[in-house]
Every structure is written in C-alpha cells, then in structure tokens.
Structure 1
C-alpha cells in the first residue's frame, strides 16, 4: 500500500446500546446466545463492538517517580491491534511514554446506566509514528469522524506542536458483567480476547 492511500475507516456504532453484539456488514447486530459457555467468537465480537462504539480511551502511563498517570485521549482504532491519537509531546502522558512505552488502556462508555457497562482492557506498547509513515496514518487518524481536524504530516513532526502516537496492543480483555443476561456469574470478570 502506498503512503498516499488512506485505509478505509471502520464502521462506527456511536450511540448504540451496550450488550452482546456482533459486527456484521458494518452494523452492530444484537445476539442472544444460549449455552453453557461463551464462545471466543462472541467475546471478540463484543470487544470489537466496544472499540468501534467509543471515541475516547483512557491511557494509563507511569511517571518518572513510578506513579500512575491516566489521560483520556480521542483515538482512531485500526481493528483491535493498533490505536492512534494526537498529543503534544510535552503532555504528561507523552513524556511518560517516552520514558516507558508500556501502557494500559481501557475503552468504555461512561454514559450507560450503572451495571450496564461494557469495556475492553489492553496492554500495549506506544511508539511515535515514524516520519516515513506520517502521511498515511495522519490521514487515517483524521478519517474516523467527519468533523475531526485533519493533520498534515508536517504538523506532526518536530518542531510542530503535536505528534501522532500508536499503541500496539499486546493483550486484550473484555469485561463480562456479573449480571450479563446470558453469561452472568454474579461477579464481573475479564475474559481474554484475540489471544
């Protein structure tokens, strides 16, 4: 793929109700599944729906003193493997990932009623998008929402004020609510996905 081709943005599910979903032809489809266990496919469908339905992720970093720091950042996902955002290199979370690129991330919708939350947890490694890839990934980052500011490559490299960051996921988990109508056990749990 050449540097001028923009990958197609993933379908968005803004405003969709949380629940056991599957992605089908860019639309989220409600599925009630019966049985003794939750299949890996269903877990992955639910996790993909959470990622696609949300615009912000909470990025957890560690500062120079070993103390945690969390920051909400607008993100554009590339599937479930890579997550892109734009930040100042002088922001606390950016300084932290320069020192220690290992991060944790959670993606969730805080507007749902108590007990209805869906969430995806990630462990990832952060990197600056290399200059040679900026044209492609800056366009991709800006393509998710129609009103999002479009950044040119020169706006994302020194000495400009912003940088394009990429978190490459190493592990994922899905929150399964204790009161899940199909798979609840009474206690919230995290189930691995895309392992």
Structure 2
C-alpha cells in the first residue's frame, strides 16, 4: 500500500521514477565509472575513472596513454562500463547503469570542441576553464571518449513491476 493507504500508490517520489529516470539520475549524480576492458592475455581489467557525460550517449575521461586500460582500448575499442551509486546502504536497492560502448582517444583536432564539454560540469571546484593545452603533447594526459551502443539497468528480483525472482539487467533507452 502507498503512503495514502491506496493499493499501487508509490511509497516515494523515487518509487514513481521509471527505470530510465533512475538511469539518468545515476549518470547525472555519480562522478566515477568503472571501465571494463580486456588485457592482452584475455583477462578482464576494471578501472575506475572520473568521468563527464555529454548527454547520455557520450562519456569523457582523462588518462595517460600508457595506462593499461588506455592501451587495451587502443587495441580493442569495444568495452563495458558500470556506473553505480556506492552511497546506498547495504540492503537497499542497487542503482546501477551498465553501458556497452566503443571508446578511443579524442583526436587532437577535436580537443578544442570536446575538452570544454568534458570539463564544464564535472569540475565545479575549478573557477577557470580546464586548460585544453594540458591534453596536447608534450603533456601526458589525454582525453578519451566512449560512445554508448547500449544502456541497461539493474533490476532487483523482487521489483514489483520488473522483477523475475532474481536480479537482472534490463535494456533501456535514454
């Protein structure tokens, strides 16, 4: 029963959110995502990075080309990503967005356009724009981009609308 005692009435605003709304909320309010790439020996590598979304289909982060995840992306650009709200108490609903994406380093001739997009929202503590010059040689840092090919969300098995008895993922359109 809902707050007003009526059957089927949401218990909170959050209960009334759609799977897509929850996915957008996680992306909008979370600062780190975990990149899933494949090492040369076939082993999975998971790497947390601070990210900046450009809408819900493009994600930027900065990294050095020598990082193993960067080398993995250069060799095999298809990757997986998970973004989740780690502030949720144990036992509460897991809020997670899973992405399938193709990633790569942003070409130098696109940096002037992409770097301000990548840095405008996610560095609120900066009072000045991020210096794009920091992303060109001889500096080590580079801008990377993932273009999403599929979004999905975590659905708990007991979800009253989407649950199947076991936790699962459900593809959504953002």
Alignment TM-score > 0.5, same fold: yes
Counterparts in 2 of 1:69 and 1:150: CA distance versus 1, 3 Å: farther
Q: Report the equivalent of 1:5.
A: none
Provide structure 2 residue ranges, at least 5 long, that are not aligned to the other structure: 1-9
1:185, CA displacement in angstroms?
Answer: 3.9
User: Is 1:169 matched with 2:148?
Assistant: yes
1:1-48 per-residue CA deviation (whole Å, 9 max, x = no partner) reads: xxxxxxxxxxxxxxxxxxx9xxxxxxxx92544xxxxxxx92222211
Higher Cα Rg, which structure: 2
Aligned match of 2:21? 45
Q: Which runs of 5+ in 1 are unaligned?
A: 1-19, 21-28, 34-40
Match of 1:81 among 57, 71, 79: 57
Q: Secondary structure at the match of 2:23?
A: helix
1:138–1:183: structure 2 CA closer, same or farther, 3 Å change rule? same
5 Å-filtered alignment, 1:1-195, equals: 30-33=13-16, 42-115=18-91, 116-144=93-121, 145-148=123-126, 150-180=129-159, 183-194=162-173
Task: Show structure 1 runs of 4+ deviating over 4 A.
Answer: none
Corresponding residue for 2:3? none
Taking structure 1 as the reference length, the TM-score comes to: 0.74
> Structure 1 pair 111/181, CA: closer, same or farther in 2 (3 Å)?
farther
Q: Normalization by structure 2: what TM-score? A: 0.83
Given that 1:118 and 1:177 are in contact with CA atoms closer than 8 Å, whether structure 2 keeps it comes out as no
Q: Which stretch has the larger CA shift, 129-138 or 77-86?
A: 129-138
- The question of whether the paired residues in 1 share the 8 Å contact of 2:54 and 2:118 is answered with no
| RMSD of aligned alpha carbons | 2.3
